[in-house]
Amino acid sequence: MSVLVKSLHFEKLTFHYEGQEPLLKNVDFEFPISKRGVQDNAAACRALDKRGTASSQQARVVVIRGAQGAGSSTVMQILAGLQTPTLGSYLINGVPVENMSFEEFLPFRLRMGYGFDTGGLLSNRTLFENLVLPLNYHKMYSPQEAEKRVLALMKRFQLINFKDLRVAYVSASLRKMTVLIRSIIMDPEILFLDDPNIRISKEAQQMYAELLRELINNGTLHTIFIASFEESFFSYFDYTTIYLEDRQLFNTERSRQKIIAISQ
């Protein structure tokens, strides 16, 4: 399977929620994503595995950091096509997303996974139904295969005993884990994780990081964007950091000290 998303670019992008100050203002930014082909990526991972080195180094892990409320979650939502810029453009492979219809954006959407920070599960469905819905809807697997895949993942993350319960009847940590599993259920090539570490234990975070490494090794997942304030999750990977400060995005370490100071 060839890589579909080759570049992500903000062009003079401004974004604000209705009646609020802009979170992003006139931003020009090229996001770093893995430029390798999937074949090369997988081969490189295998080579690294033989040497016993962490294979995740072959994927691009990009951490978006900013002070609390600065808008790093909003940047993720724009990147995943869940929010439309107020002004300016968000370009995927050089094509403005805001001009695309839902159907035109769908091929990109199906190659992206999104892990919500809070909410994001269908409340009138069980955990199992929430996970199996995208697979059955897009007919990516036969219904039996989809069920088998979902059950295997639920077993791995100890959700199997809660599979027939609706969202409101399980704890916040189980909901969060379900959201994280759903983000990778369709084998995305780009994954957006909004605060993946909140509400889940260290062990669960580690298990999820392991799963992501497997997907990278399989050659499907090639770029992971993480919006997080704490290092507990992204420290499992080698990562590049993008800083969000003064409504602008920076690749440099310009504001790192300041952000660390705020977080302390």
Partner 1 sequence: MITYIDKIGRLLTANIQYLIGVLLMVYLSIRATILDQHQGLRTIIGVVSAQIYFTGWQAIPLISVLALASGSITILQSSSELSLLGGSEMIGNLLVVIMVREIGPLLTALVVVARSGSAVATEVGNMRANREIEALESIGINPLSFIVFPRIIGGVISVICLCFYFVVIALIGGFFLTRIIDEMPLNFYLDSLVQALTVEDFFLFLIKTGFSGTIIFSISCYQGLAVKRSHHEVPQVTTKAVVDSIIVVTLFNMSVTVLFYLEQLMMLGGV
Which chain residues interact with partner 1 by CB under 8 A?
Answer: 17-18, 77, 80-82, 102-103, 106, 109-110, 112-114, 116, 118-123, 133-134, 137-139, 182, 186
**172-184 helix and 127-137 helix, angle to the nearest 10 degrees:** 10
Residue 15's SS3 state is strand
- Measured from the CB of residue 84, what is the shortest distance to partner 1 in angstroms? 11
Residue tagged 């300016």 (tokens)? 88
- Measured from the CB of residue 118, what is the shortest distance to partner 1 in angstroms? 7
Based on CB atoms, which residue is closest to partner 1, 159 or 259? 159
Based on CB atoms, which residue is closest to partner 1, 45 or 167? 167
C-alpha span between 95 and 8 (Å, rounded): 9
Based on CB atoms, which residue is closest to partner 1, 12 or 138? 138
C-alpha span between 159 and 153 (Å, rounded): 8
Phi, psi of 147 (to 5 degrees): -65, -40
Based on CB atoms, which residue is closest to partner 1, 68 or 123? 123
Based on CB atoms, which residue is closest to partner 1, 52 or 119? 119
Q: Which of 235, 251, 232 is nearest to 243 (CA)?
A: 251
- Measured from the CB of residue 261, what is the shortest distance to partner 1 in angstroms? 30
Q: Can you list the positions of beta strands (E) in 87-210? A: 87-92, 95-96, 112-115, 190-194
- Measured from the CB of residue 88, what is the shortest distance to partner 1 in angstroms? 21
- Measured from the CB of residue 46, what is the shortest distance to partner 1 in angstroms? 30
The Cα-based distances of 182 to 42, 166, 176, 225, 261 in angstroms read: 23, 15, 10, 16, 34
- Measured from the CB of residue 171, what is the shortest distance to partner 1 in angstroms? 16
Based on CB atoms, which residue is closest to partner 1, 122 or 172? 122
